[in-house]
Amino acid sequence: MRHTLEQALTDAIQTAGIDCHGQALDLHAPNQSSHGDYATAIAFRLAKVMKQAPTQIAETFIQALQPAMATQATLSQINGFINITLTPSARLLHIEAKAEYPVTPRRILLEFVSANPTGPLHIGHGRWAVLGSCLANLLRAVGHRVDTENYINDAGNQIALFTASVAAAKAGEAIPEDGYHGAYIQTIANGNTDPVTHMLSQHESDLAAIGTHFDHWFREHTLHANTAIPDALAHLKTHCYTHDEAVWFKSTAFGDDKDRVLVKSDGSLTYFAVDIAYHWNKLHRDYDQLINIWGADHHGYVPRVSAAVQALQNGHTQTELTVLIGQLVSLVRDGEPVRMSKRSGDMIYFRDVIDDIGADATRFFLIHKSSDSHIELDLDLAHQKTAENPIFYIQYAHARICQLLQKVGDPPDVTIHQIADAYTEADRPLLQCLMHSTDTLLDAADAYAPHQLATYALELARHFHRFYETNPVLTSTGVQKAYRLWVIGQVQQTLQRVLGILGISAPTRM
RNA sequence: GCGCCUGUAGCUCAUCCGGAUAGAGCGUCAGUUUGCGGAACUGGAGGUAAUAGGUUCAAGUCCUAUCAGGCGCACCA
């Protein structure tokens, strides 16, 4: 909605011949719904260059634009802010209109989780699983084409230690000091499947338990099985040099703070070299953008991978690399931080959390905070946190509506203009909230911030519960009944859509 | 030491490229109910947005410094 309104106003400004000196309208929702549906502070930004008071500029804008907008909105001015208040029917029409997102569709490869298959997923992996799957849904919702990928490090020292640990357990021998000591090692040893295969299927089932599925599972060993690695390194050759018998990539030429080793002096490859081959592979798969979600413990790794991706494209960037860094989840027990270590086996597994508080509550708990903020999970309070989890407030709103709609049966056949007569000012916050849903989706997608949808859903549920309290539907009649049914129907559809993106169920009863 | 992230109500968090009186949930206090599901609603108390400067018509938001917490600074993966 914001976009079409902005466009209409911008056109009207041009027609009126007003010079904005490059300033955009930049519509935003006023913090008080009574001010209007949208507002712009452009008068303040033009005050200096136009040498006029903001209030005066605002008046000029309003007089020039009001005629063009007359059928759908009223423009007004408070202390220089230009407020736009839509007519009730315009508001309803905008809510009902099929959302169109002004985005240029991109082909995106989104990589996340990418946990080593040397142990079960822990709560930290869970955060990336939830964030990644929500982001994929969100980007798809606004029109992008997204493939999701889980990269499996199934080669190298850690895997060797892991399989050796299982082998030792199988033989009844002591597990190597630097091996893996979790209880799951014995479980795998008791079975007959390959340890890595076993672990991967467990990852898959844990992820499925919160409704997360990947389009691709990319296994590192496939890079070693062909010439992928030497091919990729050959492409970097002009940016490499030999020093102390090791081969270095001159990543400082692309913004890194030091050069990086690709081939060690003993002739073996670094992890980075393999990762370059992996990204080289990605670059060949015809995507416009590569997005990687990494935990904050890997943020130091960003510059060198960005450098490599730039170098591989020889400065002609066709595929953009975006690395999203999420902060870590830490655990607290009895007020003391719990140190998780995969090797010692002192872990809180993601599956335990899901089984404990349920998939919906787990997803909401992990998604409703910005990925820039740390999550501290108090194990003793885990259950209480569940009871406090606002997801039930949202789901209850949806269930309430569904039960009601079921009782009503078929909705009456009326037009927007007919039901607009039943609008009252008290409904404005709810209707504005509904109208802002497409804006919210767009903003959240632009910022790669699906947590904004969780906040939005909470807000919408709150407005709905308030509306529901004072607007009986079943006992109302005529236009009023039709209007109320329409409103709650829109709430239901919007909640279902947003919860769908968050991967959380929208129950019809609870 | 250097780099990245964070610091907002008792607790957990929002606040959308700087905008109007900083908002929710939980907790707390006082109310609403024989209701279209009360897993709800209404109202109150609770804030120097870590601290100190700066930029701006306007700063929780941008810049600088300090303090506190998390994470990272390998020829590990």
Q: Contact, A234 vs A248, CB < 8 A? A: no
According to DSSP, the residues that pair with A142 across neighbouring strands are none
Query: Does residue A139 contact residue A445 with C-beta atoms inside 8 Å?
Result: yes
Task: Look at residue A464 and give its three-state secondary structure.
Answer: helix
Per-residue pLDDT averaged across A53-68, rounded? 93
- The count of residues in chain A is 510
**Residue range A456-476: mean pLDDT, rounded:** 92
Q: With residue A357 as reference, give the H or E element that holds it.
A: helix A350-357
Please count the CA atoms within 13 angstroms of the CA of A327 that sit on its side-chain side: 10
- pLDDT for the residue numbered A455: 93
- With a cut of 90, say whether residue A491 has pLDDT above it: yes
Find the Å distance, CA of residue A306 to C1' of nucleotide B4: 15
Question: What pLDDT score does A342 carry?
Answer: 56
Q: Which residue has the tokens 């789901």?
A: A395
pLDDT band of A505, cuts 50, 70, 90: very high
Distances (CA, A) of A202 to A192, A251, A256: 15, 37, 37
Nearest-5° Cα angle at A181, A179 to A187: 115
What is the radius of gyration, based on Cα positions, of chain A?
28
The Cα-based distances of A98 to A314, A435, A490 in angstroms read: 42, 11, 12
User: The complex's ipTM?
Assistant: 0.94
Average pLDDT, integer, range A130-134? 96
Asked if strand B comes closer than 7 Å to A463 Cβ, the answer is no
Give pLDDT, residue A324: 95
| CATH dotted code for A107-325 | 3.40.50.620
Q: What pLDDT score was predicted for residue A100?
A: 77
Q: Give the model's confidence band at A450: pLDDT under 50 very low, under 70 low, under 90 confident, else very high.
A: very high
Which amino acid, residue A372? D
- Average pLDDT of every residue of chain A: 91
The DSSP bridge partners found for residue A84 are A38, A75
- Among all protein residues, pick the one whose CA is nearest to the C1' atom of B42: A466
**Mean of pLDDT values over A356-377:** 89
Quote the pLDDT of residue A358: 87
**A237-247 confidence digits (pLDDT tens):** 999 999 999 99
Is the confidence at residue A380, as pLDDT, over 70? no
Protein residue at shortest CA distance from C1' of B7: A373
N- to C-terminal Cα separation, chain A? 33
CB contact at 8 A, A60 and A104: no
Q: For A2-86, which CATH class?
A: alpha beta
Mean pLDDT of A39-63: 93
Where does the pLDDT of residue A385 fall: very low under 50, low under 70, confident under 90, or very high at 90 and above? low
Average pLDDT value for residue range A49-55:
91
Measured to protein CB atoms, the chain B nucleotides within 7 Å are: 3-7, 12-17, 19-26, 35-42, 57-58, 69-77
Residue A382: per-residue pLDDT = 62
- Residue A111 has phi, psi (to 5 degrees) of -105, 130
Q: Which nucleotide C1' is nearest A484 CA?
A: B36
pLDDT value at residue A171: 94
Domain A390-502 has CATH 1.10.730.10: yes
Could you check: is the Cβ of residue A49 within 7 Å of any atom of nucleic acid strand B?
Answer: no
Look at the pTM and tell me if it is higher than 0.80. Answer: yes
In chain A, % of residues over pLDDT 90: 72
A399 touches strand B (CB under 7 A): yes
**A53 beta carbon to strand B: under 7 Å:** no
- Is residue A330's beta carbon less than 7 angstroms from any atom in nucleic acid strand B? yes
Name the percent of chain A lying above pLDDT 70.
95
Domain ranges within chain A, ordered by starting residue: 2-86, 107-325, 390-502
Residues A80-92 pLDDT 10s: 999 999 999 999 9
* pLDDT of res. A190: 95
The reply to whether A178 has its C-beta less than 7 Å from any atom of strand B is: no
Q: What is the pLDDT of residues A308-354, one digit of tens each?
A: 999 999 867 789 999 999 998 887 766 666 766 655 555 678 898 88
Å from A466 (CA) to B30 (C1')?
20
The pLDDT of residue A334 is: 64
Give the pLDDT band of residue A98 (cuts 50, 70, 90).
confident
**Closest Cα to residue A25, out of A7, A44, A40?**
A40
**Within 7 Å: CB of A156 and strand B?**
yes
Return d(Cα A47, Cα A80) in angstroms, integer: 10
* pLDDT score of A377: 77
Q: Are A394 and A387 in contact (CB under 8 A)?
A: no
CA distances from A353 to A188, A214, A358 (A): 21, 21, 8
| Strand B close to A192 by CB, under 7 A | no
CA proximity to A437, closest of A500, A485, A389: A500
Residue A57 reports pLDDT greater than 70? yes
Q: Is the pLDDT of residue A381 over 70?
A: no
